[in-house]
Structure 1
Amino acid sequence: MWLFSVAVLLAVLKALVQQEIVSFTWLAQLSWWWVIGMFGLTAAWWAYADFSGLTRCKAQERIDERKKERQRKAREALGHASQRQRR
């Protein structure tokens, strides 16, 4: 997501430079192909993450963490602390 944020920020700044609202000399000299390339790189990363299962794996890790936290809170509410906490 951070790569997409950088690409959007770069596109907005480049458009503002084209409209002469802001003045960044290095950005004025930068080709639009670099900006479009950032979006292409973002799309390639998302495709890789979906194809490799990285997205699904991260989502499952978040679900497992929430499940463990709910179980811990339920045990505490019932007064059943884990063995490590009793000792």
Structure 2
Amino acid sequence: MYFLSAGVVLLLFKYLEVGPVAGWSWWVVLAPFGLAVLWWAWADSSGYTRRKQMEKMDQRKADRIEKQRKALGLDRHRR
């Protein structure tokens, strides 16, 4: 996501001819988009994306269970 954001900012600066970016080659300005594609390809092929998705789902499940326990008065920290 960072590569994509950087690419959009650089593209905007190049188009509006702002600062030193106006003199840069188009290849340099468009490079973050290529890096974003490479990152997404690697993340999908290595299982990184799936692993992060599973961690997020597990955390949501644990939070939901903890919320239900508190609602029932069965929270872990008893006096």
Same fold (TM over 0.5): yes
| Gap regions ≥5 residues in structure 1 | 18-22
Identity across the alignment (%): 46
Amino acid aligned to 2:35: L
Q: CA deviation at 1:65?
A: 0.5
2:78 counterpart residue number: 86
Deviations 1:18-61 (A, max 9, x none): xxxxx41x212211001222111110011000110101111111
Deviations 1:1-34 (A, max 9, x none): 11111111111110111xxxxx41x212211001
**Distance between the aligned counterparts of 2:69 and 2:32, measured in 1?**
48
| Gap regions ≥5 residues in structure 2 | none
5 Å matches for 1:1-87?
Answer: 1-17=1-17, 23-24=18-19, 26-82=20-76, 85-86=77-78
1:20 counterpart residue number: none
Q: CA RMSD of the aligned region, Å? A: 1.1
TM-score, normalised with respect to structure 2: 0.92
**Distance between the aligned counterparts of 2:75 and 2:55, measured in 1?**
24
Amino acid aligned to 1:67: K
TM-score, normalised with respect to structure 1: 0.84
